[in-house]
């Protein structure tokens, strides 16, 4: 797996964007991602849509590689760690997490994270609806901004459309950034792309396997 990075300044902090759908905050030794949606593949199968577990396993393989690469002391999931009711994917994830017991795990609860707090705590996650560290506030969905505040969120699964030759378009996942908000791409590959944005003066940092593109 190829990791391409781009450093940006946001909220007076230096953050490292990657082409692997995660953000690294070196000053906090924190790996940050959003929208893993554990359980989504099994949920679809329960409803008659044959999605293989290989989709989940590929996401976890990527996350393991990124943790081993960045060696973070903290892992923050900015919402939608899980997708639906408890299913067999949860057991796979719980077993997978055992290899990272020394990493502090933080969950900003998203709209899909509907279990009681005790459930997440038993998995080793500190849980919050919103959490502020230095100048940065983490929340799952974008909020109305307050002056002199900086927000990192997920939920939107942002993407961009790039016009190609003729009537063809290329869709790419991206980080969306303006002066006060940074929206993370969905970490799971099993998600769609939302190419609309409500942000003003936004810069899209789209990415491929080989590059991070400022658009």
pLDDT score at 156? 96
The whole-number pLDDT of residue 38 equals: 87
pLDDT 10s digits, 44-102:
455 454 455 678 889 999 999 999 999 999 999 999 998 777 778 888 899 999 999 99
The span from the first CA to the last CA of the chain, in angstroms, equals 24
Neighbours of 200 (CB within 10 A): 9
Handedness of CA 18, 20, 24, 29 (dihedral sign): negative
* pLDDT at position 51: 53
d(C-alpha 193, C-alpha 185), whole Å: 9
How many Cβ atoms from other residues are within 10 Å of residue 129's Cβ? 12
Helix, strand, coil % over all residues of the chain, rounded to 5: 20, 35, 45
pLDDT of residue 46: 55
The pLDDT of residue 151: 98
Query: Given pLDDT bands bounded at 50, 70 and 90, which one contains residue 40?
Result: low
All residues at 6 or more sequence positions from 126 whose CB lies less than 8 Å from its CB, including other chains: 104, 105, 106, 107
pLDDT score for 47: 45
Tally of CB atoms within 10 A around 174: 27
List the domain range (segments joined by +) for residue 68. 5-214
Cβ pair 158, 175 in contact under 8 A? yes
Which pair of tokens denotes residue 83?
Answer: 């997708």
Residue 27 sits in a domain whose CATH number is 3.60.21
Instruction: Output the average pLDDT for the chain.
Output: 90
How do residues 103-135 score in pLDDT, each as one tens digit? Answer: 999 999 998 788 899 999 999 999 999 999 999
pLDDT at 56: 83
The two counts, helices (H) then strands (E), for the chain are 4, 15
3-state secondary structure of 144: coil
Over residues 128-172, the pLDDT tens digits come to 999 999 999 999 998 889 999 999 999 999 999 998 877 788 999
How many CA atoms lie within 13 Å of 64's alpha carbon, on the beta-carbon side?
13
Distance set, CA 204 to CA 98, 172, 214 (Å) = 35, 10, 6
Total domain count for the chain?
A: 1
Q: Are 157 and 187 in contact (CB under 8 A)?
A: no
Task: Report residue 43: phi and psi, to 5°.
Answer: -60, -40
């Amino acid at each position: 797996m190829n990791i391409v990075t781009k450093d940006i300044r946001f909220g007076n902090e230096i953050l490292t964007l990657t082409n692997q759908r995660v953000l690294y905050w070196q000053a906090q030794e924190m790996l940050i991602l959003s929208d893993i949606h554990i359980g989504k593949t099994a949920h679809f199968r329960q409803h008659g849509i044959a999605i293989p577990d290989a989709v989940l396993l590929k996401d976890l393989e990527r996350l393991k590689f990124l943790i081993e690469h960045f060696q973070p002391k903290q892992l923050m999931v900015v919402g939608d760690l899980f997708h639906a009711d408890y299913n067999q994917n949860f057991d796979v994830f719980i077993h997978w997490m055992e290899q990272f017991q020394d990493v502090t795990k933080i969950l900003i609860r998203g709209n899909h994270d509907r279990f009681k707090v005790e459930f997440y705590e038993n998995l080793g996650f500190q849980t919050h609806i919103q959490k502020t560290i230095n100048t940065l506030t983490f929340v799952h969905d974008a909020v109305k901004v307050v002056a002199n505040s900086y927000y990192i969120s997920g939920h939107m699964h942002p993407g961009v459309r790039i016009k190609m030759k003729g009537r063809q378009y290329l869709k790419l996942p991206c980080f969306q950034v303006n002066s006060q908000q940074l929206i993370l791409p969905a970490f799971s590959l099993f998600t769609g792309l939302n190419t609309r944005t409500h942000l003003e003066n936004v810069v899209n940092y789209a990415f491929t396997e080989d590059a991070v593109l400022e658009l």
